[in-house]
Chains A and B, each alone.
Chain A
Amino acid sequence: KAGVTQTPRYLIKTRGQQVTLSCSPISGHRSVSWYQQTPGQGLQFLFEYFSETQRNKGNFPGRFSGRQFSNSRSEMNVSTLELGDSALYLCASMGGNYEQYFGPGTRLTVT
Chain B
Amino acid sequence: AQKVTQAQTEISVVEKEDVTLDCVYETRDTTYYLFWYKQPPSGELVFLIRRNSFDEQNEISGRYSWNFQKSTSSFNFTITASQVVDSAVYFCALSEAGYSSASKIIFGSGTRLSIRP
Contact = CB atoms under 8 A, between A and B. Distances in A.
Given A33-B103, A43-B91, A102 B110 contact: no
A99 B47 contact: yes
The contact size tier of chain A is 20 to 34
Contacts of A107: 43
Q: Is the interface of B mostly helix, strand, loop or mixed?
A: loop
A11 B111 CA distance: 27
A66 interface: no
Interface in B93-112: 97, 99-110
Given A42-B107, A42-B110, A43-B91, A98 B102 contact: yes
B107 A43 contact: yes
B116 interface: no
Interface of B: 33, 35, 37, 42-47, 50, 91, 97, 99-110
